[in-house]
Amino acid sequence: MNPVAWTAGAEQILAGLALGYLTVSMGESFLHRSALHASLQVRRASKRLGLAGRPLLRAYTSHTVVHHGKTYRDSHVRQFQSREEQERLDRWIAETQGDRRIIRERYGVSLAGLGILAFVAPVLPFFALYALFLPAPVSLGALLPLVVYPLSSRVLHPYLHMPRDEAMARASRPMRWLLGTRYVRFISRHHYLHHRYMHCNYNLLWLGDLLLGRHRRPSDDDLAEMRGQGMIC
């Protein structure tokens, strides 16, 4: 291959990586705030939409009501205080939601089945436009962040809710390496602050929060609390 053409192709792939990452990071911050923590007005509008509004209402229930409100109530790294507490939540989900996918997704900690598609669906139109109007190497480069996007919630997120020792004991060797990186230690602190203060730090793929003015840095008290819980930080 012509070296000039190879260099141009590599530059386009790198441009695609940057574009894809920016898209999913901005999308994550916006959608996390607007859908997973939807306002009362948005939820009422979704109810009026009937079937079309159910995905948003389900996402809100799984994330804000269950993950933030009914689990991890006393500790960022302990989902339930007892088996009885978990069983009560299972009954509540069965009786009021009729949606066992919330349980399969470990009460908002991970993604399962159609939840993966629902998670990426809002950003897919952007990538369809990239494929239609941008050079193939750019579109190809953008696909990697699109794949990493759901994996950050499905694979990484559970470890952010474990004490460091437990996370390292459960993780595979590649995951142990990842958990030890400065980036994941930063994301662990970032995510803790989202649970503590909620209306900030929506990203697991960081950048969108900063660009949208939703980034919060930890205080000394925050850091002391994280260390007291044995977190990855």
Query: Which of the two residues, 114 and 52, has the higher pLDDT score?
Result: 52
**C-alpha separations of 220 from 15, 189, 217, 226 in Å:** 38, 12, 10, 10
When pLDDT is averaged across residues 168-187 and rounded to a whole number, the result is 96
For the cut 70, the answer to whether the pLDDT of residue 3 exceeds it is no
Does 57 map to a domain? yes
Round to whole Å and give the CA distance between 179 and 185. 7
pLDDT value for 131: 96
Q: Residue 148's pLDDT band (boundaries 50, 70, 90)?
A: very high
Is 61 a member of any domain?
yes
What are the tens digits of pLDDT across the range 86-140?
Answer: 999 999 999 999 888 999 999 999 998 888 999 999 999 999 999 999 999 999 9
Answer whether residue 233 is part of any domain.
Answer: no
* Cβ-proximal residues to 194 (8 Å cutoff; 6+ apart), any chain: 200, 201, 202
Lowest pLDDT segment from 5-14, 73-82, 166-175, 224-233: 5-14
Kindly tell me if the per-residue pLDDT of 8 is higher than 80.
no
For the chain, how many residues are written?
233
Domain enclosing residue 153, as ranges: 3-228
Say how many domains are in the chain: 1
Asked whether residue 4 carries a pLDDT value surpassing 60, the answer given is: no
% of the chain surpassing 70 pLDDT? 97
